[in-house]
Structure 1
């Protein structure tokens, strides 16, 4: 009797049928989490780069404008075009802030680009703000 039980247990232990499906069931959730994490990280990094590019473009175009009104208009226009190229973007905004004493050649401005989007895999809302500093190059002289 003991020999029969021992033979049966050895046969069950050494039988590899079904082992691949068991390995799949154990490993698949881990692989799926890795893939979802990768998609979310990709969307964050890509949109962060787009926000930085939008801040740069906004600051670059604003720095050569003759007054703050035109600078604000062109910065928003140029920056929002860049932000619209992001992945899953729900809202994008570009703002200018003067650093120093007004719109004068040699003073500095800061362009802020904020982008809101949903993550690719999880769908959670996410927001990124990037800034870029530029020197004003072409301000009109006030009389």
Structure 2
């Protein structure tokens, strides 16, 4: 009588039936994880770029306004319009901060854009904040 383990090993060595499905079962989860990771990384990178563009646009439009009130308004409108183009965005805000002594030509401002979104594959919430520094170019002279 032959050893049952030897007969089984011989059958596996010479019989390739079912090998493709076995390979699929072993490899598919790894490929699926790679695809999901790629989707999440893409959404993070794309929304990071949108946050940076929103901060830049907000700072650019704010730096040429005559006063801080108009600068804040136009920065929010321009920046939030840029943030709304992100992927899976749930919330986006744009803020201005003055660096220095008030709204004067030559002083600097910082535009900060924050975007919250859901990752494409996992659906987990994620938040990114980017900022951009600009010089105030067109402030009204106070008399």
TM-score after normalising by structure 1: 0.95
1:6-59 deviation digits (Å, cap 9, x = unpaired): 667523421000000000000000000000000000000000000000000000
1:138 is matched with 138
The change in CA–CA distance for 1:4 and 1:99 in structure 2 (over 3 A counts) is closer
1:17 is matched with 17
Q: Hey, which bits of structure 1, 4+ residues long, moved more than 2 A?
A: 1-13
1:122 is matched with 122
Residue aligned with 1:17, SS: coil
2:67 is matched with 67
For these two proteins, the number of residue pairs brought into alignment is: 143
TM-score after normalising by structure 2: 0.95
The change in CA–CA distance for 1:10 and 1:65 in structure 2 (over 3 A counts) is same
1:82 is matched with 82
Gaps of 5+ in 2: none
Gaps of 5+ in 1: none
1:48 is matched with 48
1:48-100 deviation digits (Å, cap 9, x = unpaired): 00000000000000000000000000000000000000000000000000000
The change in CA–CA distance for 1:79 and 1:4 in structure 2 (over 3 A counts) is closer
| 1:4 CA displacement | 9.8
2:100 is matched with 100
2:29 is matched with 29
The change in CA–CA distance for 1:137 and 1:44 in structure 2 (over 3 A counts) is same
Task: State how far apart, in whole Å, the 2-side matches of 1:89 and 1:101 are.
Answer: 35
The change in CA–CA distance for 1:142 and 1:36 in structure 2 (over 3 A counts) is same
Task: State how far apart, in whole Å, the 1-side matches of 2:120 and 2:48 are.
Answer: 14
